[in-house]
Structure 1
Amino acid sequence: MKKAFSDEDLIKNLSLYYLNRHLKKKPIEKYHRAIDESSLHDREKYRKKSEILLLNAFMHHFPRVQFEDLTCESPDFIATLDDKKIGIELTEVINHLEMKKMESSLNKIFRQAEILLEQENTTKYRGVYFLEFQPNLKFHNPEDQQEIILSIYKSIRRNRPTGHVRNIRKSFHRRNVFITHEYNMNLFDELCSAKIMELIEKKNEKFPYYDSSVDECWLVIVSDMNSLASRYTFIRDKEQLREVRSPFHKIFHLENLCGNLTNIK
Structure 2
Amino acid sequence: MKKLFSDEDLIKNLSLYYLNRHLKKKPIEKYHRTIDASMLHDRDKYKKKSEILLLNSFMHHFPEITFENLTCESPDFIATFNNKKIGIELTEVINHLEMKKAESTLNKIFRQAEILLEQEDKGKYRGIYFVEFHSHFNFENLEEQQENILSIYKSIRKNKPSGCVKSLRKSHHRRNVFITHEYNMSLFDELCSAKIVELIEKKNEKFPYYDRSVDECWLVIVSDMNSLASRYTFIQDKEHLSAVKSPFHKIFHLENLCGGLTNIK
If the length of structure 1 is used for normalisation, what is the TM-score?
0.93
The CA deviation string for residues 137-169 of structure 1, in whole angstroms up to 9 with x for no partner, is 322222211111111011112212111011111
Q: How does 1:208-219 map to 2 (within 5 A)?
A: 208-219=208-219
Alignment-derived partner of residue 3 in structure 1: none
Any stretches of 5+ residues in structure 2 without a counterpart?
1-6
Q: How does 1:54-73 map to 2 (within 5 A)?
A: 54-73=54-73
Cα deviation, residue 10, structure 1 = 4.9
Alignment-derived partner of residue 4 in structure 2: none
**Distance between the aligned counterparts of 2:19 and 2:71, measured in 1?**
28
Identity of paired residues, percent? Answer: 82
Alignment-derived partner of residue 89 in structure 1: 89
**Distance between the aligned counterparts of 2:177 and 2:17, measured in 1?**
15
Does the CA contact (< 8 Å) of 1:132 and 1:185 recur in 2? no
**Distance between the aligned counterparts of 1:40 and 1:17, measured in 2?**
21
The CA deviation string for residues 18-74 of structure 1, in whole angstroms up to 9 with x for no partner, is 323021111111111111222222221121111111111111111111111111111
Give the letter for the 1:13 counterpart.
N
Report the RMSD for the aligned CA atoms in angstroms: 1.8
**Distance between the aligned counterparts of 2:185 and 2:240, measured in 1?**
29
**Distance between the aligned counterparts of 2:153 and 2:212, measured in 1?**
53
Does the CA contact (< 8 Å) of 1:188 and 1:231 recur in 2? no
Cα deviation, residue 11, structure 1 = 5.6
Give the letter for the 2:90 counterpart.
L
Cα deviation, residue 136, structure 1 = 3.9
Equivalent position SS for 1:131: strand
**Distance between the aligned counterparts of 1:14 and 1:24, measured in 2?**
14
Q: How does 1:18-37 map to 2 (within 5 A)?
A: 18-37=18-37
For residues 188 and 147 of structure 1, do their structure 2 counterparts lie closer, same or farther at Cα, with a shift above 3 Å needed? farther
Cα deviation, residue 127, structure 1 = 1.3
Alignment-derived partner of residue 48 in structure 1: 48
Does the CA contact (< 8 Å) of 1:250 and 1:264 recur in 2? yes
Divergent runs of 4+, >6 A: none
Does the CA contact (< 8 Å) of 1:89 and 1:220 recur in 2? yes
Cα deviation, residue 175, structure 1 = 2.6
Alignment-derived partner of residue 164 in structure 2: 164
Alignment-derived partner of residue 152 in structure 1: 152
**Distance between the aligned counterparts of 1:35 and 1:216, measured in 2?**
23
Give the letter for the 1:127 counterpart.
G
**Distance between the aligned counterparts of 1:175 and 1:71, measured in 2?**
26
Alignment-derived partner of residue 184 in structure 2: 184
1:16 lines up with 2:16 in the alignment = yes
